[in-house]
Structure 1
Amino acid sequence: MKKKYKRKEGFRFVFNPPLDAQFSVLMNGRRIDHGLHSCKIVDISPRGMKVFTDLDVYDVFKHSIGMLQLEMHFVLDITKIRAIGQVRWIKNLEPGIHFGLHFANQPGIEELIIREMKSRRRKEVFAEKYI
């Protein structure tokens, strides 16, 4: 029986529209492809994110989900963030794929995501208030 992944976090921020990002594919911490692939961040929390892409990483690289990691490159507000996410689940959607990523053992990334999201949200609220 397939185990359903249940996250245990207090907040998750949904981007509407999704946020542009890039990723490379890792297996056991080593890069297994050459180059960056385009994707969209659907939502994010300090310890993970949901990503949409046209590239079916599981099919292309022929490895089990538990072995695949994505090295994400993205900007939430002003800082370029590089975080490694363990692929927890994959959902096929036409015409692409959703991935659930978990950022394990990266406390600096958790703090940076929180700080950047606070700054981004302040700017959004200010813009909504005065536009």
Structure 2
Amino acid sequence: MRYNRNEAFRFAFKEPLHARFSIYEVNGKEVETTEGEIQLMDLSPSGAKTYTELNIPYTANNSVKITIHFQLNESTYNFKGKIVWKKVWSDGFMYGVSFLVNEDMQQEIVKQLKIHVKSLKN
């Protein structure tokens, strides 16, 4: 597990965590999209590094908000987040997503990541 100085911790998955996402807002305007596949490369209490083959219409000059649906351990999550960076990667794109969650949900992520790490040791 790697640590980022600005975070409680950020867990990098050996095998990406499969998830689904949809866009719900672009530049402050509500939109509805179909769900697409996305992979969580790492996860922290405040966000995630993700990968998808889909080209999300994010640039530094616009705002894109998404909902990410994923399962960690036995719990299912639906987190809203804002894309904060984009990079071309392999056959797709990496995106940094900052979660729009309260402190209770951040603590829940920490708890679930600790459970996940323990399960890897068994």
- TM-score between the two structures when normalised by the length of structure 2: 0.84
Residue 34 of structure 1 deviates from its aligned partner by 3.1
Residue 104 of structure 1 deviates from its aligned partner by 3.2
Alignment of 1:1-131 (within 5 A): 8-27=6-25, 28=28, 30=30, 32-58=31-57, 66-126=62-122
Structure 1 alignment gaps of length 5 or more: 1-5, 127-131
Residue 65 of structure 1 deviates from its aligned partner by 5.8
- Structure 1 residues 120 and 19: CA distance shift in structure 2, 3 A: same
**Are the counterparts in 2 of residues 12 and 43 from structure 1 also a CA contact under 8 Å?**
yes
Distance across 2 between alignment mates of 1:100 and 1:10: 17
Distance across 1 between alignment mates of 2:71 and 2:29: 22
**Are the counterparts in 1 of residues 45 and 109 from structure 2 also a CA contact under 8 Å?**
yes
Structure 2 alignment gaps of length 5 or more: none
Larger Rg: 1
Residue 78 of structure 1 deviates from its aligned partner by 0.9
The structure in which a higher percent of residues are strand is 2
RMSD over aligned Cα atoms = 2.2
Q: State, as a whole percentage, how many aligned pairs show the same letter.
A: 25
**Are the counterparts in 1 of residues 47 and 96 from structure 2 also a CA contact under 8 Å?**
yes
Residue 12 of structure 1 deviates from its aligned partner by 0.7
The structure in which a higher percent of residues are helix is 1
Distance across 2 between alignment mates of 1:65 and 1:102: 16
Runs (4+) off by over 4 Å: 63-66
- TM-score between the two structures when normalised by the length of structure 1: 0.79
